[in-house]
């Protein structure tokens, strides 16, 4: 992955993202001011912090409260993302996870979400988390593209099998609450023949033909490598993500590889 060092232990990734080498900063995340990490995350979209110990669940939750209010689900604040023997939802399979934003069916949309990696896949094992910079997609779009996208409203529907579900309607275009940038709020459909717990989309504001063509074009742009960063996990990675600017997904796993992440969503 191409990168360039910019000082302060920070290395920029391409096309976006940054790694903070925190090995000499302390034992764990609590040694680094929240404001510093938040600023770096807003600047780089994805911040990878390396060189620290992982926090136990209860201490991770207490630490994340320093960032703001946390989303709480029936399992608590920390979602264990791992491969399950009898999954009811595609998130816990070895397949891919299409692009989406966190909190679509929650009471509040998270500003950030934070992962800590307890076990990374082996080299070449897949399972990379892929992020797409929607603000960059918009900057590279034409005025006519944006005029079309501004008309679109999408209703998403999925059964509540795991911790989320229901029906929600969102404008395709949004505004970042901190930076003021135009952003895209979009989740790719999940056909029932391919995914557990499928997701269905209904497009309003344009004709069915215009809507189908617009979403096909948008999906192609979101997946363009020039706007995507694929994170290859290492043990003890901490990754903080700007949920308002990005959509994210996951590449499928290969062979017998697996992965264990813990995620907290910060409102």
Task: Verify cis geometry, omega within 30 degrees of 0, for the bond prior to 106.
Answer: no
| Distance (Å) of CA 15 to CA 58, 78, 115 | 34, 29, 21
Calculate mean pLDDT across residues 189-214: 97
Q: What is the mean pLDDT of residues 91-108?
A: 96
The tens digit of pLDDT for each residue in 226-263 reads 999 999 999 999 999 999 999 999 999 999 999 999 99
In which band, very low, low, confident or very high, does the pLDDT at 7 lie, cut at 50, 70 and 90? low
The pTM of this model reads 0.96
At 8, the pLDDT band (50, 70, 90 cuts) reads: confident
List strand residue ranges (DSSP E) for the chain, in order: 3-7, 10-13, 18-21, 46-50, 79-81, 97-100, 112-119, 129-133, 153-158, 166-171, 173-175, 182-184, 200-204, 228-231, 238-242, 246-250, 260-266
The percent of residues above 90 in pLDDT, for the chain, comes to 96
What is the reported pLDDT for 5?
Answer: 65
Average pLDDT over residues 208-212: 97
Domains in the chain (CATH in brackets) are: 3-266 (3.60.130.10)
The predicted structure's pLDDT at residue 254: 95
pLDDT of residue 74 exceeding 80:
yes
Query: For 85-113, what is the mean pLDDT?
Result: 96
Q: In what side-by-side order are the strands of the sheet with 18-21?
A: 3-7, 10-13, 18-21, 46-50, 238-242, 112-119, 260-266, 79-81
In this prediction, residues 57-73 reach a mean pLDDT of 98
Average pLDDT, the chain: 96
Query: What are the backbone dihedrals phi and psi of residue 72, each rounded to the nearest 5 degrees, phi first?
Result: -120, 135
């Amino acid at each position: 992955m191409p990168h360039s060092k910019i000082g302060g232990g920070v290395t920029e990734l391409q096309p976006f993202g940054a790694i903070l080498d925190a090995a000499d900063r302390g034992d764990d995340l609590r040694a680094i001011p929240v404001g510093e990490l938040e600023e770096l995350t807003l600047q780089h979209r994805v911040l990878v912090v390396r060189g620290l110990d992982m926090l136990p669940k209860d201490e991770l939750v207490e630490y994340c409260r320093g960032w703001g209010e946390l989303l709480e689900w029936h399992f608590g604040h920390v979602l264990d993302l791992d491969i399950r023997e009898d999954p009811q939802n595609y998130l816990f399979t070895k397949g891919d996870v299409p692009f989406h934003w966190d909190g679509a069916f929650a009471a509040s949309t998270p500003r950030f979400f934070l992962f800590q990696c307890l076990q990374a896949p082996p080299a070449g094992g897949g399972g990379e988390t892929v992020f797409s910079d929607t603000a960059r997609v918009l900057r590279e779009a034409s005025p006519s593209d944006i005029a079309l996208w501004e008309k679109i409203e999408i209703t998403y529907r999925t059964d509540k099998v795991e911790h989320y579900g229901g029906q929600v309607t969102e404008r395709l275009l949004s505004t970042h609450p901190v930076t003021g940038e135009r952003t895209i709020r979009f989740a790719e459909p999940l056909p029932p023949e391919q995914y557990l717990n499928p997701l269905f989309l209904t497009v309003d504001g344009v004709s069915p033909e215009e809507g189908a063509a617009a979403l096909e074009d948008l999906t192609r742009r979101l997946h363009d490598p020039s706007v995507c960063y694929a994170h290859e996990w290492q043990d003890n990675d901490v990754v903080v993500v700007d949920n308002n600017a990005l959509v994210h997904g996951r590449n499928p796993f290969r062979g017998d590889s697996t992965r264990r992440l813990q995620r907290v969503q910060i409102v």
